[in-house]
């Protein structure tokens, strides 16, 4: 009998990084309670030793490298793509976590070693990568590209395991907001890049029914969960273990338990609006190093004081058509949410604050600027800084 594999495929912005970091930090505790969350090494450990994994598992928290590799070296691509050239491109873009792509044989060796661990120790395997539902194989024109990838994935994994897909989905409109903030924070979004632009450019992300349909065409066992419901009570991480993996662990009573931590600090809407002005210089995206410095500068007390003056609630500035757009997409997404409820018993949290309406996200207008000029709480330098922001004439300082 094959052991169980829980394949956690995200979705993005549903606590995946927190879950992965938690599983890595609590590796021994999970193993003790029936879950094997391994580090994927270039050289698999044939003779499993729990202590040997200790230094390895600290290096990487997810399993992206395996699933990136599977999208690039499978049987559909081998005869028509120069593997070395492809590797070079991916290294330059830093897509891969490992130094080298894993070949199919190497991945099979790794999976076989994991299978042996699970059989000997009576454990379930957990692999996690939200990148899975983003990969495609586009060489068979008769099949959708993402389904081709899923088929290849299934072909390899099911030689060793009984696979159950774990897919967590978030209420559409809040997924849009979170993804938009991330794109701005990472420096990808340019000024005048609105939320509607994101929805149009990446429309496939928000079509949950179509994505689930693609998965159902390939995999037999798919468990779908609501991110909003998993947030309740103990929070996303512990509920992931309890409800998604069906392991009832009392973490608080475990001496080795390491609580989940906040992985990254997100930007507010006002901070996003300001950062959009600086993400590109002369049409070129700023470097990752400069992006980090820029975020530090935006979070500084001085800039935060300015932000509270520059933004207000009168204009939903991150949407090109403001409330009209929000109403349009909320109505559209609600229609699909009702279908998800009926087909998958998937219930998103209700009565949440409406998107963006709890933050300062519109620029002040000219009349308000005149009022600010008489504000004795603002220095002349601060007022000049605000005016330059509004007129888009400010350059990000070299030292931030």
Whether 274 and 184 map to the same domain: the answer is no
Task: From 253, 285, 317, give the residue that closes a domain.
Answer: 253
In a domain, 29, yes or no: yes
Whether 41 and 146 map to the same domain: the answer is yes
Task: From 199, 220, 253, give the residue that closes a domain.
Answer: 253
Strands 124-128 and 4-8: parallel
Please list the residues that pair with 35 across neighbouring strands: 124
Whether 109 and 212 map to the same domain: the answer is yes
In a domain, 262, yes or no: no
* Cα dihedral sign, 145-151-157-159: negative
pLDDT band at 48 (very low <50, low <70, confident <90, very high): very low
At residue 67, the 3 state secondary structure works out as helix
Q: If you ran DSSP here, which 8-state letter would residue 243 be given?
A: I
In a domain, 297, yes or no: yes
Whether 204 and 316 map to the same domain: the answer is no
| pLDDT score of 7 | 98
| pLDDT score of 125 | 97
| pLDDT score of 42 | 46
Whether 198 and 290 map to the same domain: the answer is no
Q: For residue 142, what are the domain limits?
A: 4-253
* Cβ neighbours, 10 Å, residue 354: 11
Q: 124 and 245 in contact (C-beta within 8 Å)?
A: yes
Average pLDDT of span 367-394: 65
Whether 294 and 243 map to the same domain: the answer is no
Whether 344 and 275 map to the same domain: the answer is yes
* CATH number of the domain residue 154 falls in: 3.40.50
Task: From 227, 253, 279, give the residue that closes a domain.
Answer: 253
| pLDDT score of 394 | 55
Could you give the CA distance from residue 310 to residue 264 in angstroms, rounded to a whole number? 25
Residues 6+ apart with CB under 8 A from 257: 26, 29, 251
Q: 130 and 61 in contact (C-beta within 8 Å)?
A: no
Whether 295 and 229 map to the same domain: the answer is no
Residues 6+ apart with CB under 8 A from 271: 298, 299, 307
* Cβ neighbours, 10 Å, residue 27: 23
Whether 160 and 292 map to the same domain: the answer is no
Q: 36 and 111 in contact (C-beta within 8 Å)?
A: no
Could you give the CA distance from residue 349 to residue 171 in angstroms, rounded to a whole number? 8
Whether 115 and 192 map to the same domain: the answer is yes
pLDDT band at 315 (very low <50, low <70, confident <90, very high): very low
Look at the chain and report how many structural domains it folds into: 2
- CA 234-256-246 angle, 5° bins: 45
Average pLDDT of span 301-317: 65
């Amino acid at each position: 009998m094959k052991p169980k594999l829980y394949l956690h495929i995200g979705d993005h912005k549903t606590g995946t990084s927190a879950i992965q970091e938690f599983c890595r930090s609590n590796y021994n505790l999970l193993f003790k309670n029936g879950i094997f969350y391994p580090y994927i090494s270039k050289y698999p450990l044939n003779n499993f030793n729990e202590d040997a994994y200790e230094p390895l598992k600290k290096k990487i928290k997810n399993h992206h490298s395996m699933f990136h590799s599977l999208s690039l070296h499978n049987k559909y691509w081998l005869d028509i793509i120069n593997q070395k050239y492809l590797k070079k491109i991916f290294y330059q873009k830093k897509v891969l976590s490992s130094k080298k792509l894993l070949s199919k044989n190497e991945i099979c060796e790794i999976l076989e070693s994991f299978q042996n661990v699970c059989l000997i120790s009576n454990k379930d395997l957990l692999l996690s990568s939200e990148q899975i539902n983003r990969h495609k194989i586009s060489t068979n024109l008769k099949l959708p590209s993402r389904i081709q990838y899923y088929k290849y994935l299934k072909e390899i994994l099911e030689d060793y395991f009984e696979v159950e897909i774990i897919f967590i989905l978030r209420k559409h409109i809040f997924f849009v907001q979170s993804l938009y903030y991330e794109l701005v924070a990472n420096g990808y979004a340019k000024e005048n890049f609105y939320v509607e632009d994101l929805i149009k450019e990446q429309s496939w992300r928000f079509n949950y029914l179509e994505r689930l349909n693609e998965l159902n065409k390939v995999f037999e066992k798919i468990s779908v969960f609501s991110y909003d419901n998993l947030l309740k009570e103990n929070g996303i991480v512990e509920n992931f273990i309890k409800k998604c993996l069906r392991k009832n662990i009392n973490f608080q009573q475990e001496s080795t338990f390491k609580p989940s931590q906040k992985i990254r600090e997100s930007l507010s809407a006002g901070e996003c609006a300001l950062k959009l002005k600086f993400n590109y210089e002369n049409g070129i995206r700023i470097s990752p190093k400069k992006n980090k410095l820029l975020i530090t500068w935006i979070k500084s007390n001085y800039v935060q004081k300015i932000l509270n003056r520059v933004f207000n609630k009168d204009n939903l500035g991150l949407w090109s058509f403001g409330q009209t757009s929000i109403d349009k997409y909320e109505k559209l997404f609600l229609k699909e949410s009702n279908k998800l409820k009926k087909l998958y018993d998937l219930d998103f949290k209700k009565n949440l604050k409406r998107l963006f309406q709890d933050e300062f996200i519109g620029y002040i207008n000219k009349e308000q600027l005149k009022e600010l000029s008489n504000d004795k709480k603002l220095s002349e330098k601060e007022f000049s800084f605000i005016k330059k922001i509004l007129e888009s004439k400010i350059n990000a300082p070299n030292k931030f």
